[in-house]
Structure 1
Amino acid sequence: MKKIILTIIIFNISIIHAQINLSYTDHLAIGVKNIDSTGEFYKNILELKELENPSANQRWFDFGDKFELHLVEGVHMEKKIKTNHIGLTVSSMTDMMELLKKKNINFESWNGKRNTFELRWDGVKQIYFQDPEGNWIEINQK
């Protein structure tokens, strides 16, 4: 009986030590049809720094805090719903909305009201717009 209890204890300890410890989110990969136009959107509209990568059919961008966006050409989903989106935070919603207007990028609230933000229940301002492939992007100001 003691051997069984000892075996169970050792087994449980080994499981605890073997558990995965995730430290941070590394990247988000999005499939696109046109790597050039979509890559230029993230580089010029969102002003993300482009990173070097080994593949001709991919473009990688730095979101900061060790988080990257990987655009992968050739893998694409036609249906895009707002629930599936990239969420980014800015310090000034007013400045972001002015930038999007200046660059002729349509944006809307969660409920689809054009050119205005949504005020979330916790006081966070939110707007949504799409990249050239139809992927939704949420911008919020906390």
Structure 2
Amino acid sequence: MNILQLDHVALHVSDLAVSDKFYGDVLQLPAIPRPDFDFPGAWYSIGSHELHLIGNRDKEVHSHHRGTHFAVRVSDCDVVEERLTSCGIDFIPKTRPDGARQVFVQDPDGHFVEFTQPPA
């Protein structure tokens, strides 16, 4: 097996419309075409990777920001924090021991998204 890179992350969501608004409007991820599956969902591009939302989730999500999440690299965590603040979204700012900055935010279903800025 030769794993080259992250291809996509799939998240089961309880309310597709609410999650679609979060990922499409708040985080401004571009929507991409999705095959005509027999279940609801939405796909987004994250650089060369994809995020797949899958509707009809029937169990509540409980996790910690160090648990299940996906991470995206950003050039400036200040811009992320400003955007989340302007949208009224709570977040957790952190700095790793190596100096990298992190911003953790929960989506409407409790999944954590990490924004990471490499150390200077």
Do both proteins adopt the same fold according to a TM-score greater than 0.5, normalized to the shorter chain?
Answer: yes
TM-score by length of 1: 0.74
Q: Are residues 1:69 and 2:51 paired?
A: yes
Please, which of 34, 43, 61 is the counterpart of residue 79 of structure 1?
61
Superposed, 1:1-142 pairs within 5 Å as 20-53=1-34, 54-55=36-37, 57-65=40-48, 67-81=49-63, 82=65, 83-108=67-92, 117-142=93-118
What is the deviation of 1:95? Answer: 1.0
Give me the whole-angstrom Cα distance separating, in 2, the residues matched to 1:93 and 1:122: 15
What amino acid does structure 1 have at the position aligned with 2:68? N
Give the % identical residues.
29
The structure with the greater share of residues assigned to helix is 1
Whether contact under 8 Å (1:80, 1:136) holds in the other structure is no
TM-score by length of 2: 0.87
Unaligned runs of 5+ in 2: none
Q: Write the deviation string for residues 106-127 of structure 1: whole angstroms up to 9, x where unpaired.
A: 011xxxxxxxx21101110112
Give me the whole-angstrom Cα distance separating, in 1, the residues matched to 2:42 and 2:61: 22
RMSD of equivalent CA atoms: 1.4
Give me the whole-angstrom Cα distance separating, in 2, the residues matched to 1:25 and 1:126: 19
How many positions carry a matched residue from both structures?
A: 114
The list of structure 1 runs, each at least 4 consecutive aligned residues, that deviate by more than 6 angstroms after superposition, is: none
Structure with higher Rg: it is: 1
